[in-house]
């Protein structure tokens, strides 16, 4: 079977956890979280969990490990904490949890970002991979980065990714 046949057999409605990682955002100011949730719902997906947590290694790790144990959740999307400042630890946490890393996700995201923001794209440590049979995707917290990741990478391919993980 080719990738088009795999996409055709892929689940059309999935259960997501959306996690915004920020020291400053609130539910009212979390535009990136709303973009993710809105995009997922537009495509018929369900949001089983949403939260905003601080840029804290232990808190991020504890939250993601808890989400991995939730049998309803198939995909975890985080936004925020992917840069290079001292407080940006999302990727450091997730890399310790992943069993398989999908290098192409970060590579393609940075390639597409380069067209929009130029060489600053090299500072994005976005990553995707698999842990405990679930997809984890970590994207930057800026609205433009979230729109790019959702529209160009996540929404077109997430069903296929879940299908492949479940084989």
pLDDT tens sequence across 56-99: 999 999 999 999 999 999 999 999 999 999 999 999 999 999 99
Cα dist from 136 to 2, 4, 79, 97, 154, whole Å: 24, 23, 11, 10, 11
pLDDT at 1 over 70: no
pLDDT single digits (tens) 66-78? 999 999 999 999 9
Would you kindly state where each structural domain of the chain is located, as residue ranges? 12-161
Structure tokens at 82: 């992917």
Task: For residue range 122-151, list pLDDT tens digits in order.
Answer: 999 999 999 999 999 999 999 999 999 999
Q: How confident is the model at residue 6 (pLDDT cuts 50, 70, 90)?
A: confident
pLDDT of residue 105 exceeding 70, the answer is yes
- Which run of H or E residues covers position 28? none
pLDDT at 2 over 90: no
**Predicted local distance difference test score (pLDDT) of residue 9:** 77
Q: pLDDT for 19-44, tens place per residue?
A: 999 999 999 999 999 999 999 999 99
Tell me the average pLDDT of the chain: 95
CATH (residue range 12-161): 3.40.980.10
* This prediction's pTM: 0.95
pLDDT band of 4, cuts 50, 70, 90 = confident
Tokens at 30, concatenated: 């979390």
Residue 164 class from Cβ within 10 Å (0-12 exposed, 13-18 middle, 19+ buried)?
A: middle
């Amino acid at each position: 079977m080719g990738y088009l046949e795999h996409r055709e057999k892929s689940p059309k409605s999935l259960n997501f956890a959306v996690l915004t990682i920020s020291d400053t955002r609130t539910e009212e100011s979390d535009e990136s979280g709303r973009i993710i949730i809105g995009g997922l719902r537009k495509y018929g997906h369900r949001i089983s969990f949403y939260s905003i947590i601080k840029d804290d290694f232990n808190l991020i790790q504890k939250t993601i490990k808890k989400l991995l144990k939730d049998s309803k959740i198939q995909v975890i999307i985080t936004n925020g904490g992917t840069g290079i400042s001292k407080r940006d630890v999302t990727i450091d946490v997730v890399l310790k949890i992943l069993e398989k890393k999908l290098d192409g996700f970060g590579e393609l995201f940075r390639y597409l970002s380069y067209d929009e923001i130029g060489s600053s794209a090299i500072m994005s440590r976005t990553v995707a991979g698999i842990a405990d049979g679930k997809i984890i995707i970590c994207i930057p917290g800026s609205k433009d980065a979230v729109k790019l990741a959702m529209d160009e990478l996540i929404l077109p391919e997430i069903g296929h990714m879940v299908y492949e993980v479940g084989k």
